[in-house]
Structures are given as C-alpha cells and as structure tokens.
Amino acid sequence: MLLGIDLGTSSIKAALIREDGRCLAIGAEPYAISTPFPGWAEQDAEDWVQATLRAVRSALAQAGDQVEAVAALSFSGQSHGGVCLGRHGEVLRPAIIWADQRSAQQVDEVRRNVGPENLARWTGNPLDTGFMLSTWLWLRQHEPEVAARAAFFVLPKDYVRYRLTGVLATEPSDAGTTGLFDPARVRWSQPLLEAVDIDPALLPDVIGSAAPAGRLLPQAAAEMGLAAGTPVFAGAADQACQALANGILAAGDVSSTIGTGGQLSAPTTDATPDSGLRLHLYNHVAPGLWFRMGATLSAGLSLTWLRNLLQPGTPFQQMADWANTAPAGSEGLFFVPHLAGERTPHMDPHARAAFIGLTLRHRREHIIRAVMEGVVFSLRQALDLMESLGVEARRVVASGGATQHPLWLQLQADIYDCPIHRTLTVEAAATGAALLAGIGVGVYGDAQDAASRTVRLHDEVILPQPEEAEHYRRAFTTYRDLYPALKAAS
C-alpha cells in the first residue's frame, strides 16, 4: 500500500491506495481557521500534526491495520502559507495561510519597488497577499521580535513532514507558490531575495517532488500506527498532486478544480510566464514540466458563506438541488465572488463581492444559483487568458468537492462551452501524494507511468447544452464588465 497525506485548508485527509490506484481507505480530520482580526487567516500548526496522526490511524483501522504493507508515504498541501520556526524547530507563532489578506501594503510595496517586469523575470509569477514573501515582509515590519528569532520559514506541508521525519526541505511545485522561487531555473530567486533583503538561509533546501525526504521517526510512527523507518518522500502542492492523480500531464489537458478555492490549470513544457502576470506559472511534479494556473479565492467558500448566512447547516447537496430549479442566468442576477479579494485575472486583494440585478422576483434558488454561476464565470476568465496564451483545452477534467453534484458539472460544461470529464480518482490530492510515494519507492517509473497505470475516466461525459451555453456566452460578456464597474465605484 501507499499512503498520501493531503493537508487541506479545513481538514487533513490520509488516503491508502493500492498500486493500481484504487483507494482502500480514507481518514479525515478537521481543524479550524482563526481570524483574530478582519482579513486575517491563521492556523495552529500543531493542529495539523495531531490531525495527521489521527487521520492516518483512522485510515489504517479501516484497512485492517496492515502496518507493514505501507511501503511509503508522501504529502500534498495547501500552498503559499508560512510557518515560522526557531533554531530548534519550535513554532514561533500561528501559521499565516493562503487566505490571509493582511499583507496588502507589502504586496503594493514589492510591486512598486521591484516592478512587474522583474517579478516576471525572476519568479514568473504575480505576488499577492497570503504568499510567503508578502507574509514575511509583514512579519518583519509588524512582529520584528518573531522575525528576529526565526531560523526557518517553511510551507505548511513541509512543516508536518518535518515533524514526522526531522528532515527540513521543500520541493519545486510548492516553493513556486511562495513568491520567492524561480520556476524556470528551479531554485530560490537570488535577485529577488537580494532586492527584498531576505537571507536565503531562512528557506529550506529544494529537492524533487518524488525525492527521499527522510524516514518516519519512531515516536511519530508509533502514534500513527506505522512502522518506524517507513520511507517518506517530498510531495507536492495540492494542485500538482491532484493533476497527477487525474492524469493532467500533457498539453491540451486542463484541470478545473472547485473546492474551498477554485483553480484552472494546464500543463506546459514552456516556462515562459504571462507577461501581464495574470496567471501563475508553477512547476509540475515531473522535471521539465510546468503548469499555468488561474485561481479564484472564494469558490466553494462563496457557497459556504451563503449557507452560513441564510441557513446554517444545510447540506450543500440540498442547496445545489434548490439552485437547479432556477433557470440558467438566474433571471438576470449576477454574483461577483470576490469575498476575500481576487487573484486571476485582477490580482486585487481589495476586490469586493457583490450581487447585481436583485429584484423582488428573486428567491432562494436564484441566489444560490447565481453564486455558483459567478464562481464558474470567474474560472472562465482564467480559461480565456490561457487560450490567449496558446493553451488549447482539448479535455477539461473536473476535480474537487464540486464534482459531487450534477449542477456544478453542468455549469462548467455550459459556461466553458466544452465537454467535462471526470476520473474515478477518490481524494485526488491525497491520491497524487500517494503516487509520488510510489514513484519515490520505485513502484512506478515516473509520473506518466503512475498516471497511465492508475487513472480511470468516468464513463459519463457532461456535454454543453446548446441553449444554455449560448445564454451563458452572452451573460459572460456582462460579467466581465462588473469588476471594472465595481472598482470604479469603490
């Protein structure tokens, strides 16, 4: 068996898979996001560790406690965030995660002082709040005593792996999300580190996604129910892992993920960044492969917000059922899903959400459907950008929690105006991490071999409905005009 551990935003998932990719068991453990001030988003790194131990124990119990049968494990994780560690590996303060908005001033300063041309040349990526670079600059200014004591600043999944192995390292796919990494040269960006006065010793060594990253320490192994010394491999960012598990490894493939956030990503062998810095360029799990990515911050999060506002505790399936009774376009109601600022294509932490077109006629089902449509419209903007840069979307594969309801899938087919495929992969990010462990331990030859032996497509393909697709094509023209109008009015 292979074990993949996915450190998500709201929970940890541990997936045990067979060599053919079939999932044997999944353990899941939730944890909270702390918001001590408006716009802040923090988590207790110890919560991640304890949740990991419990999730693995749960998965093993479901699989019949086949401890010796676990050949290796690896990690997937939420990107961008930072954990401050002291000289002895102790955590100095709560982790600041990707959803945090406090560093808008620092982002503006870097954009102004470093300039978009240098950011594109040195990192291939835009900078936003919640990224490790902007977070570190905020800490240095507002919590100088913490910054002075910090010996290492690490990504979330890398901290959990460190706690289990005692080995501190990162890998290219997640390092690229920090704002400090050069994805084309696959190394920390020395020119940028010098420009912002960051000591490179603060950052861990970069190894391959399937490279060895230590072995399980005896105490950690005992607490999880695994054998001490089990090989551990580096892992990858959640989007890279889910792409591997869904077979998104070639030009023409596009991944559409709707979870807490939303991401649209497409593999490429060309490491040339978007000169307008509207899209991200990150390393994939395989050497010599990258992916372009567009992101919307409040995807499923928008539906969670609406549920908590209107009817707390209502199952998401029920909400989508209600939305399915409203017509396409929600009778002229639009939702702009910028509840936590926005990334693609605006890169604007100050962007704000809005309902536009509300009338006395609109009911609960219209409002829910408008929220879902707004999320997919936002991702459609990323698809348009990719296509303008030469990406050909020959196959779009849906992933994330939104695959659980037919309406989410149909909205993607209609608004993207292309067929939507699904794989039979369960918990794609955790499964991708397990596949990386398999590559590392020699079960698979490489990423392509792992995908070819494990990825199976669902028989059903969701096709665009011509009338609805035409309606959404016209509505999308209006949607694109909403952000500039709201920005001008703010």
The answer to whether 34 and 95 have CB atoms below 8 angstroms apart is no
Helix segments in 389-465, DSSP class H: 406-416, 428-441, 447-454
270 as an active site residue: the answer is no
> Taking the CA atoms of the chain, what radius of gyration do you get in angstroms?
21
**3-class DSSP state for residue 247?**
coil
**H helix or E strand, kind and range, residue 182:** strand 181-182
CA 377 – CA 412 distance, rounded (Å): 9
Question: How far out from the chain centre does Cα 20 lie?
Answer: 25
Write the DSSP assignment of 267-299 as a string of letters: EES--PPPTT--SEEEE-SSTT-EEEEEEES-S
CB atoms inside a 10 Å sphere around CB 408:
26
CA 368 – CA 378 distance, rounded (Å): 16
Q: For residue 14, is it left (φ>0), alpha (ψ between -120 and 50) or beta?
A: beta
The answer to whether 44 and 95 have CB atoms below 8 angstroms apart is yes
CA 283 – CA 432 distance, rounded (Å): 15
CA 354 – CA 488 distance, rounded (Å): 14
Q: For residue 130, is it left (φ>0), alpha (ψ between -120 and 50) or beta?
A: left
The answer to whether 425 and 4 have CB atoms below 8 angstroms apart is no
CA 478 – CA 472 distance, rounded (Å): 10
At residue 71, φ and ψ (nearest 5 deg) are: -80, -30
The answer to whether 159 and 52 have CB atoms below 8 angstroms apart is no
Please tell me which residue in 128, 158, 238, 417 is annotated as part of the active site: 238
The answer to whether 355 and 481 have CB atoms below 8 angstroms apart is no
Residue 253 sits at the vertex; the CA angle it makes with 248 and 255, to the nearest 5 degrees, is: 65
- Token pair for residue 31? 């944890």
At residue 470, φ and ψ (nearest 5 deg) are: -65, -40
Catalytic center residues: 238
